Structure 1
Amino acid sequence: MTFSYKIFITSLVLVTVSGCTMIPGSHFEGIDSDEQTRNLEQDLDNVNIQIIDVSLIAQQNKLRNNPKPLSSHAGVDTSDYEYKLGVGDVLTIGVWDHPELTIPAAVQRTAEFDGFRVQQDGTITYAYAPNIPAAGKTVRQLHKALVERLSKVIEKPQVDIKVVGFRSQKTYITGEVSQPGVYPVTENPLTLIDALNQAGGLSQFADWRTVTFTRGDTTEVIQLDQFYAQGDISQNRLLQDGDIVHVNRNDTQKVFVLGDVKKAGTVTLNRYGLNLAEALSDSGGLNENTADANGIFVLRKSNYQQTGILANVYQLHAKNIGSLVLAEQFELQPHDIVYVTTAPLARWNRMISLLLPSVATLDQVDGLSN
């Protein structure tokens, strides 16, 4: 690697790490040329530079797991789940062979309308069994208490209880989902993945990588992409009353395409990913007459404290037609910088084009002096 090439790479890395709007290779204010060169050379030792080739693609594909589709209940234990009744829930109660104790179905009325509601004091009242505590109990526990009361007036009562209105416990799904709103906790366990599916899934502008999960005074970030893409079932949660799941917008999931392309700017990643070929295509492609097809770089910031690496730099030699296949398989990550360099001959031609007006001006001055 030539020295000037090293300086170029390291300058781009510093742009990536610092976020400064600096032209690669430019001089740092307040630092002399020799010191700047030494600093850049030293920083280069902390930069991991790789060629985008078949082995790199195979390595990245190996790191990406391809798990089997997961159940929405993966990661949560629902084996002993039982719904606990609360104030506002509505029940239907029937006693076999005792139609007088069962409210008959009525036309244009629902079971919920005719049912028994858990009152504000947490009790329900049934024939021969007034003020039975219900709130906080499971249906099975309420069934046992009701049978004990009715046994005083009915021999071996066979009681049937169903919850027909789940009104006491709610979860909230907000943000970038198709149908944000309030979703009830029911007798069927409701997981975080269930709730997102019930809300119609993520919207077009959703950040599919993370969601925020709030329970009481505690908020945590759920790595949604790790659940789906890597099979990390620890990211799932069994929802409870008052839980809030919020899906953020995808505003920060962008890649920056700079340098000698027809339309420099940002390209947004979607939930299906973005490869290098797509990013270049969305930017109008390379400037055919000036861009260096072998000078396509991807700069990716690294966690220096954990890895000791400032950034990873990947280079694509696009003059080889086979490299287009590699570009389609190289997946970009949020905040990657794609930079296309200008070919050496083009840089020379641009310098000449900048100098020519000055030469013409000097000729005019010489003509006037003569």
Structure 2
Amino acid sequence: MDSSFDIITAEEVEEINSALENGDLCTATERLNESLKSIESAPLNIAITGESGSGKSTFVNAIRGMNDEEEGSARTGVVETTKVPTRYTHPQYANVTVWDLPGIGTPNFVADNYLQSVEFSRYDFFIIMSSERFKQNDIDLAKAIQAMEKKFYFVRSKVDSDLYASKIRRKKTYNEENILNDIRHNCIENLSVGGITEPQVFLLSCLELDQFDFQKMQDTLEMELPNHKKHIFLISLPNISLPILEKKRQALRKDIWKWCSLSCTVATIPIPGLSVACDLGILVKAMISYRNAFGLDKSSLEKLANKFDKDVSELTSVIKSPLIIQEINKELVATLLTRGTMGALMVVEYAASNIPVLGSMAAGGISFGTTYWMLCGFLKEIAEDAVRVLRKALESPV
């Protein structure tokens, strides 16, 4: 199977092919629909814990692409503000939940019964935060999580404050790389002495999430999460760096063939008008989801402009695709479909030999090719526009 399409499992391919070979188009269509829904709606629960004052709530907001003053943001402060496990859903992906857990060592949440108190089983992985040295409570919690065979990662927060203080105190000898290496080494050494084998420690600033080790942490989580969780994790990340935008493009590229296979399967069902209606619905839904994932919807553009003190018109001025600034609806897509036939013919032969399931369908090739051609083209355009918009946002004032 082509690596571009590895988001499907061998079991799914076998089930869909079996249904097609038996002429059961309804079952094949239903299975493809279920597969698409499982990609979009896979629940992801991220637990953020640590001692009070470590910046948990700020991180909860940052990882969801929000600031501390937005409606729905986690409450932040200089004292412990989280009294019970509090859920915060992603503003765009309701199946992604970041949990702000009470600090370890607070009166109601001591280390001995912490995991039971916060309902340990519902989380996919834990991020244990500290703004200083990791302490015995952190080590004990990590050991308990490890014993229950869950993933955990250490985040040393507020490294921007450490760097600022060092720059003030050591103006002549200040070296950012050396300071960061010292902080990382001290954290790892302290955790290793406490009995944590090969601890994974990431240095972050919640106020500048794209700096320091965030990319390294993202890559680690992507590698260690199951495929269906990995996909929604990548798509839900805030659009704060060029590597994140590229990861999103790759993730979305992998599920295009499923949309197209669904279109192709429906095209083989002999109901007049069904295929066209399905194609329009598929394209509208997919294109809107792409625009939202890259943060090019109106609300996201306004938030980005506000974050970098820009005017929204500055950001939209670099957008080249006319589709992004229009309302994406069936009428717009219907006019685009007429341009896709030639592209469809170019991809059908390749698709039949490289894409799972399609080889089992003699009919519907043009429907598959048209949808594939259009979604690939739109994804390429919107990914390139997202890069231009982010670069514009990051530009320093002249």
Q: TM-score range by the shorter chain?
A: under 0.3
- Greater percentage in helix: 2
Taking structure 1 as the reference length, the TM-score comes to 0.24
- Greater percentage in strand: 1
